[in-house]
Structure formats: structure tokens, C-alpha cells
Structure 1
Amino acid sequence: MGKFVLNDSQAKIISTLLDNDKPLKVGDIQASTQLSKRSVYNNLKVVNEYFQEIGLSDFSIGKQKKLLLSPEEKEFLKDKLKSNQTDLVLCPEQRVNLIACYLMFPEKRISIESIEKMCRVSRNTIISDIKQTKKELENYQLAIVYSPKMGYRIEGKLINKREVFLFFIERLLKFTNIHLLTFLKFNDVNENFNKLKIISDELDNSYNEESLLALAALLSVIRRGNERYEFSIKELYFIQDTIELAKVDKYFTEFSIHDRFYLTVHLLGTRSAAEFEIDGEKNVELLKLAERIIEKFEVVTNNTLFDKDTLVNEIYLHLSLSLHYHKLSIQAVNPLLEEIKTNYASIYSATKIVCESLKDDFLVPIFESEIANITLHLGSHLREPSEKSFRKKVMIVCPSGQSTSNLLQVEVAKLAPQIEVIGTSAVSDIVDKEQEFDFIISTVELETPFPFIKVNPILTKEDKEKIATVLFLSQSRFQADDKQINGLFDIIGRYVEPREMPAITKEIIDFVNHSNPIIKVEHEYRYSLAELIGQQNIQIVPDSLDWRTGIMMAASPLKESKTIDQEYVDEMIRLVDVYGPYVLLGENVALAHAKPENGVNRLGISMLVCPKGIYFDEENEIKILFVVASPNEYEHLNYLNDILKFAKDSAAVDSIIQTKNVIECYELTKRIF
């Protein structure tokens, strides 16, 4: 077998397939990876060739509408990705991960030749990789420094260094055989891993093996230096009597007391969070940050969030917990990260814009898992619940966390307005609430006599079909004998003993649970960006413009077609005046918009191309300006996400800027969008 080198895009696609447990469409992969549709198709062909070469011959991407790896195929693929590596051959993104880990806790002087030898690429490539690594580390308040005596190394707060090492090493180990990472001493890592596995099993901990291996790698390198994390008296008081510390003391006797304490707080996980408080000054900062996140999200998305006081408190509590973990150098992982990026791509993208624009106000590094957690909170407050004309009362059982439960409630209510979600419950409390609900929607299997529908924490199409089927069987359908008949259940009830109905109802719902829905939920058709823009809404101007003129000119086709009123144009300009150039999505792209109630008559998008630049101020210049007008706030989010993906594709952006006329530009948009 020849050496098969996967590039960044192909690695992202494989990672998405490995992290998802449901069938994915090309659009799902596009949303998760933030690649253009064309790039996804092109790279899927290479991924398919790779799969066929390693023996996954049944995985024919060209013939499947949906893509899914079975658990056995995932394990086979993971083994192949690592076992086939006799040489360390990495794509650019993986080399950035490697360089960051290599320089984080150096055992000896590291020269550029050392990095070149480690990564096995040319000197010029390494220089480029170091620049990219520097840029990446700036997001976490870390810096690569060099001196003739010390060589290359990373400087910054110890808590940041440990947290970032965990983040990068876990990403790296997903595709890389640990034996090839020569800066790690494999025997030490393996010994640490085996001990952690024993402790995890004894404590019935929820750590997966990938996280344990990353932690084992960190433990092997932090012992090299003299840096020590200092714990407060309060923290030490809480740690000293825990069973976790007793286990660490038993199995890690060779570690210093500081490192044993550090490992203990990792094993304590969320249990430790309840025991610590954030100081008063930080409380105020976090509260203000929560308010700014909400305000900025509403401006960026032009959506109105409901129950904002509750939302402020939810985000504040989450930020407090994140700060607590950060203080202890714990890398908190969101197990639903890939599902959130795929199923809530629009909300995730908008949240990412907001978080990155406020990064100087965050007291913690902004990892993807942090953005995903905030996405859950914001998404659960996107829509005001509809009027309570519900017929069926539902209890949600979701141990995954409060933010996931909230978002699940919103999704269920959005799916079927005849549902009244009366609240969430722990499994142990279901019996006490028996009289309150008609059936349960649960993300875990239940041993209960009550009818329940088993769903995923992030609703899939199949989950929605199960819920729709149960509602269909329960709904009021017609009149008979002066009585209202409630679908199948009431019809059956007319012919059996009342005492038999609960068991019959539960059996039918169990049948639906086992992938037997009779109602299909179809995705609504959504116009592509190219269809909405059309040739008539594209303009190319030869001269540079100030931003006010740019917005007015970009909006003029929509105004002429009466898609928007002048009020909408005025409001877009006012928002930039108040909030600054928040409309910038990338180096050369901006999107102007306002709320639907400010003069939107129907859905429309226009695009203004200005090769010589549209200037917002001395530092901010763009060359492509979109105007989006949508009467539907949620639909608006989808197009924001589409334009954001375009803004990140520098080749696509450059190709639009270089078009000579409107016809050429329109033909190109049809291929890109």
C-alpha cells in the first residue's frame, strides 16, 4: 500500500464521520467542517479512495445519499489511521497541533532543525507552520519565543499552557500513532494511561479513552520542568479528603504533591465545581460579559431572544464554571460538539462571530467546546414559545445538562405546537410527576411503565418522525357518536377494557421507538444564495466607496423591487453607527442587515462587488458587501451562515472580486453557492 497523505479538509471530513452516530448528508458535512459544497464533494472523492485502499470497500460515497460509519467501521478506521503510519506524515493543521505540543514543555533546547526533523518537512514549510502556530496560540494568550540559548519555546500562564496542550494533543492523537510522537516518552505515557484507566473504572468516571490518553500525555511532560500550579487554602481543604485524591495517592506515588493535586481536580470534574466560588470582582465581569454576548448575538443575527433575564443568568453560570475549570487547567469537553456544529450550524456560526468579537472580554480561552456550550444557551432562547393551545403534555428527561434540556424543549415545541412541554425531570423523579404528563421524551433508555419516546440530545430527522407519529396517533381526528375521537388510541379504547389501555398505548409507542414511524418529516426547501441573489441583484462598481454609500448602493436593487423599504436601509446604517463595523465577516466580506419589522416585505439578498474597496475606517476595508432581508428571523440565520462560510473561502472570495461583469459574476455564484 502506498503512502496516503490526507490534507486538512479530508482530515476534517473523516473527523466528522468518526464523531457522528447518525447518517450525514453532504450539507451536514459542509456545516460541520465549514467547507464550501464544491470543496466537500472534491475531498469526499479522495476520502472514498482512501477508504477503498484501506479496505472499507463497501463505503461507496458516490452511491450513498447519506454517509454513516458503523461502530465497527469507526474502530477499524481509527486503527488503520494509526497502524499504517510508519512515518509521521501530517497535514498543515496537524503540524500546527504537533508544534504547539512539542514547544509547550520542552525537555531540552529546541531549534528550527529539531522541529524540521520532528515534522519531516522542509525548512521553508516549518517557518510557515511556526507562523501559523503563533497565530493560533495568540487566541489563548500564549506566545512562541526564541533565544539562542533556550531555542524555541512557548511562554504564557501555566494554566493556559496545560489547558491548550490537552486540547491540541487530543486532536493530534485522533489521527496519529503515539509511538511516532518522539517528544513523548511512550513508556511513561502508557504507564500513566493504564493507571488512569484503573482509577476511572474504580470511580465509574465518564472519561473516554481518548481524553485519558491526552491526560496521560500531559502528565508525562509536566514533570519535566519546575512550574507548579499553586492551589488556594480553600481548594486544598476541599481536595484533601476526597476519594479521588486517595486513588491518585495510591497509584501515582512517584508524582509530586502539586501534580497529584492537579490530577485530582481533573478527576473531580463537575463535582468540584459546586464547591468553589468566583470572587466578587470576577462575578461582575462575567455578568457584564453574559449581557454583552446576548446583546451582540441579537445584533449579529437580528433575532430577538426571549426571557433574557433567565438567559443572562444561564450564560453567567456557565462562564463561572468555565472560569473555575480554567483556573484548575481542566480542559472541559462538550461531547455534543460535532452534533451541535452539524445540526445547529447557523446558530453555532453566529455564536462564534460573537465570541470572537468579544475575545478580549473573555476570562478564559475560547475553544470550540466553549462556543458550543454558549450556542446551546442562546439557541434555547431563540423563539418565544407559541400560544398554549396544546393537547398533549410532555415531560423531558435529559441528563446531558440544563442547556441541552432547554434546547430540546424549544425544538420539541417548534416541531409540534400541540405539545406542551411541562418541564424536565430526573429519571428518579418521574413517578412523583405521574399525573402531570401524557408521555415522556427521553434521551436515555428508561425502565418505566409510562409511555416514552427515546431521542438523541440533538433531535435527528428520525427522532422528529417518532414524535410526529405519536402525536398523530393521539390527535383529535373526527366526531363519532357525539364524541371526539382522539386518533388510534381512542379508537382502540372503545373496544378494550380500560385497564388494558395503558399497556396497549405503551406497546404501540415502543413499536414507534424501534424505528417504525409512520409519519415522515420532510425538510423544507430552502433557496440557495445564488437563487436569491440572481443576476438582477448583483452590482460591480469601479470606484472605492465609504460604508454608508456602500450600504445604500448594495440595498438599491432590493429597494427597487420593493423587497425592502427605505426604513430598512436607514436602520442598517444606524446599526453600524451604534455598534461599529460588526457587519464584517472576513478580510474582504461584510453583511448588512436589520430586523424584519424595520421594513422587510419579502426574502431577498443583494451583492455589491467593489474591487477598490468599501471603507469603514482606517483599519477595516471590504470588497464584497451583501444585504440580507428576511421576514423570518430563523431563516435569516441560515443565510448568515452560508455567507460566513463563503467569507472563509479566500479562493472563492478572490474569484468573485476578479470578475469583469455582472453576467460572469452571476455564473460564478451559481458554482460557488
Structure 2
Amino acid sequence: MISSRQQRLLKQLMEARQYIPLQQLADEYDISLRTVRHDLLQLEDWLRQHDVVLERSRSAGVYLQLDSQQSESLAIQMRERPIYMDAKQRITLLLKQLLQKTNLSMGEMLAEFEISKNTLLLDLSDIKVWLEQRRLTLQKERGTLSIDGSEQLKRSAYLELLRAEVTDDKLLGYMLSQPSEDKLSIVPWNVWFKSSDAMMLFDSIQHLEQLLGIQLTDAGYSTLTLHLLMAMERLKHAHAIEMDLELLHELETQHVYQVIQAEVVPAVEHHFQVKLPASEIGYITQHVLGAQKQNVPADEELYIGLAKQIVSRTEKALGHRLQMIEQIVQGLVIHLKPAVYRAKFDLQSKNPLLDQLKIQYGSFLTLLEQIVNEVMEPISVTFDLDEVGYIMLHIGSGIVPHVAQIRKRVAIVCGSGFGTSAIIKRRLSDICPQVDVVNNYSYKESRDITLNDADAVLTTIDIGHPIPVPWLKVSPLLTSKDQQEIAAFLGVTIMEEAGTATTIQTVNDIFRVVERNADIHNRNKLLEELLFLIQGGHLQGPEYTNRLSDLLPCTSIRLQLDSMDWESAIQMGCQLLSERSLSGLNYEERLVEMIDSNIHSFIIHDGVAFPHANMPGDIRQTGFSLVTFREPISFGPLAHPVWLIITLAAVDKEQHVGALSTLLDALNDEMFMTDLQQSSNSYDIWRSFREKEEL
């Protein structure tokens, strides 16, 4: 007999409709190509005994072409227990049996799986962790095992195991296929169900749809079928079915319950030779109510009212009206009825789009969760974020044109004072222009922050008490890593191309704070290390970085130029770079485009512009150019008065850091800036930079 992995491999080959590359098998099973070839050789020998040929292709891989008789024969063989079973599959089967039966003897398990007591204890240790993650407890008493927890949680755990082996698409594909199409290969070796049982239940569900005049979703079909298969197994093993009596009485009044009891239950009991208790009919009713895809009659005022309240409160929060309100309300009404049942009966499921929705809508998704649950409070229903995500899809259809205009309100929590808060605020305004810092709070004051005050909180310390506003811990310097996390947290885009300019501004702010409160022994070294730290580097910096006097020669310094328009000024700065073969025309055009579109933070000091762009593919070497004007020129569409333009071309974030530290030192030196504004001698300026480097 083949091993369990080889059985899984065979099952995959039986389901495939084309060749499977060997590398794909190696990746999926996390084994080497050599092991794949070994498994295929053993599998090939085994298949030959059953008159089946495994087709091979050097370029395409392996393929199994079967007629219906061969497929059925192999499926029967696969129901046999393999000689060797890996721990993962053994644990899965142990969990299945534990969830099916009320009690399970350890002695029986040792005999059935032919394993040692130590191996079983190791497996049970893993099983205990798996169950605890699903709010269930493994109980062991006098050699007997059982699972403690609610019936709903046990069913959810069982379905999770089942879905890992039988996915929705495979089950529906099997159920909806023509009789001539053989798809028995979906049945795994550890027989979760018989195909005839599944087909009987599927037919019963379709009949129920006709009787009720409803339509279930595809996921509803498979979920209800799998639930019923699981329930039948548990009933066969005399497992007690329990349900809250108050909830059961409420379900018994539903028309759906009564139809199931009268039309479906007799056929199911006859086929499976079991007796369905009222609580089991209640669970079936829950699934049907939560899986409907139907048009809600216009007279269902409750859901229409709920939908309108959600829309109205959302518009108030946004500050503008939604588009296509009638369609949004209609969509919400259709969605809300089964959603309310899902929440009421604890059937809410994971939303596969939730991560994308968090990125697209950021903190607004959290705000919508608050709005929706405030609306739902009078009917005692609470939606989790996954369900709110589905509602967000409806709301989003009306706010798509405005999403980019929704500004994020951010509060800053800092335990070290308002100086640090000011640095973060300045940095945020440069890298996230769509973010408004609405207030600063101390740690103690953070208890009072609500969603009315801010959409999100950025904090320099961990917040140990609960607050209703989502928060993210960041460094006061907002490093590159912080910026990436902020972008994902707030759902905003970071202005990366303005990075060096904003770094200079931030370093300037930090430097002034340090200068006011401490003696500085080495100004250049401090500036250099701050630059490295903020740009995501390490405190030591590189062993050697280019000096400003190396990257800014006298020939690239032009002083006391006549007034000109800002585009000509950019052209002049770039020309000085291109004369040294550092950059080309594309770089100049990119800078002009950024300034003209006002997507930059080039103004780093009063009267000083620092144009640069992240275009490493168009930069041959790192270097600077510097030009001054007798009278300030109007820089960009906003006409900033600028008398000094320093243009940077950089191949990376490191080579110019040492030079920037000297430049920052110079910009903070009032005497030097006065000399620079008045000087017409390029060599004198270059020599001043050189002297600062030698300090």
C-alpha cells in the first residue's frame, strides 16, 4: 500500500485536467525534487498493479488519464488506510473522531493507529493547542478523551477540518455534475462522507429552496450540505445535540423551521436511519436563514429602516452625500436580513476582502463598524468587522469618487512632551499631506480620546488601557519602516520622492531641540547619525561617505544670478549636474513635473529649495549643484520666494548622507547663510564647506 503523502499526490493527479510540473509538486508538499521522483516511482508501480499508466513528460510533468471505471476503482482503493501516516494527517483524523463522538478511548486510538503512547501524547498536545485556538478544551479522564465547549464551536471546528479536505468548488462541482461525469476522486481516503449521502442531502436542499421560494448562495449550498453530513455522523454516534431553549423556541416560530420539519426531516431520517431532535432542526434553520440570496419584499420596513439609518449616519460622518443612495439602500436591505440571522446565530464568517478593505478605507472602516453597530443595537445584534466589511462594499459604491478626498484625522500621544509631538506633526505634514494632526495628548489624557476626536492615534509609547480609536506605535523620527506601517494603518500614500527634503526638515527640528538642551561636541557627526537613523539606517553609519566638497565642486556653484522663472532655475541646477554627467534630461523633466503638480516638499528653509527625485535608474553618480539669486524668484505655482536652490542627484540613500550633514550645519549657521546670500565667489563658498567638514 502507498503512503499517505502518495495518496494525496494520487488524489491530486486524479483531479487534475492537465500535466502537473514536478517543481509544483515539490513546492506544494514542501519536499525535494528527488523525493517527488521517488514518490512517483512508487506510485507508478502501484498504479501498474491496477492497470493504470502514469504519463510523464520532461517538459510538462506528470498526468493521469482515467476512464470512469478506473477512477471508481482507484477511489475505492484510496479508502483504505495507508501503511504510513504522517503526524498532520493522523492528528486530523484524531480530531475528526473526537468531534464526532462523545467520548473516545485512548486504548482504542493506540490500537487503531498502531502508534506508541508517547506518540499519542505528542499528538494530543498539538490537538489541545488547536482546540484552544478555537475556544474548545480537550478533557482527559481515566483513559477517556472528550471535547468540552459549545455545540456551535464544535460544529465550526468540524466544518473547518472538513473544508480543508473538501472545498466548496469541489463539492459543488461534484453535486452539479452530470451523472456520466465521475468525480469520486474528491472523496479523500479517510471517508468523511459517502457520495450517495451527500447527493441525497443536496437534493433535499434544492427541494427546500423550491418549497420556500428562495435561493441559497453557492457557499450556502456547500456549508449546509457539509453541516448536515457532520450532524448525521454525530447523531449516529449518539452525540447529544443541544441548543439554547429560548433561541430554539424563537426558531420554531419561523416558517422555514416548519417547512424543514414537515418536508425535509422525514426523508433525511429515513435515509440515515436516525432521529432528528428539535435542536438539530433548529441548527438547520439557522443555516438556511443565514445563507439566503433573495429579493426582500418592499414591505419589510425593519430592514429598510436599518439600511436608511446606516446610510444617513455614514453621510453625516463623511460630511457629504453618498451617490446612488437608492441602489445602496436596496442592496443593504437584501444583505441585512441574512446578515442579522448570521450574527444572531453566531454564523458570521471570514471576509476574504477584509485586508484589502482595510488598506483602501483605513480608519473609516472602523468608524463604519461603530455606526453599523449603533444602528443594530435596538435589535440586540452586533456585527463583527468581517460582516461590516461586506456592508462597506455597499457603502463604498457610493463614496468611491470621494475616498481620495477623505482626510484622515490623527491624534498624537507622546509621553516625552510637545517637542516630540511637534516633530511628528511636521514630518507627517510632509510625507502624508492628506493627514490632519488634530491634537496632541499625554498618555494620561489618551483615555479620553474618542472617534469624534480622531480617526486614528499615532503614539510613541504602548497604550496599556483600552481606547475606542485604533492606534499605532511609531518612532518619534518616523523612520522608513514607520512610514510603511503608517501607510497601511491609515490607508494613505506616502510621498516617497519628498523623502530627502523632509528628512532634512526633520533633522533640523531635532537638531534645534538638542541644541537648546545639550552641549554638542561634534555637530557634523550628530547630523550625520540623525540622517542615517531617520532614513532607516544604523547609528554608526557607513565607514566612509562622500563629503560635500567632493560632491559639490566649484564648477557646480553659481552665485548672484539674475532673476528668472522657476523652470529656468531648475534647468540651470540640472544643467550643472549634467555637465558632470551625473543626470540627464529625464531628471530635469521629473523635477519640473513634481513642482508644477505641487507634489513635493522641496522648501526646506525660508528662501531655500532642495529639489530632488528618486530616479536611481536615471542617475549615473551622486552629486549636488548650488545656485543663488540676487533677488528671490517665485518658486512653483505657489510662488514661494526662493533665493537659494540646491539640487541633488542621488543613486541611493547613503552616499550623500555625510554631505547632507555638512549642508544642514551650514543652513543652521546664520553667519554662513548671510555670506552665501551676498557672495559672488564660488571658491570662497566651497572653501567654507570644506572648513566645516574639518571641524
TM range (shorter): 0.3 to 0.5
Query: TM-score, normalised to structure 2's length?
Result: 0.38
Q: Comparing both chains, which one has the higher relative contact order based on Cα–Cα distances under 8 Å and sequence gaps of 6 or more?
A: 1
Highest CA radius of gyration, 1 or 2?
Answer: 2
Normalising by structure 1, we get a TM-score of 0.39
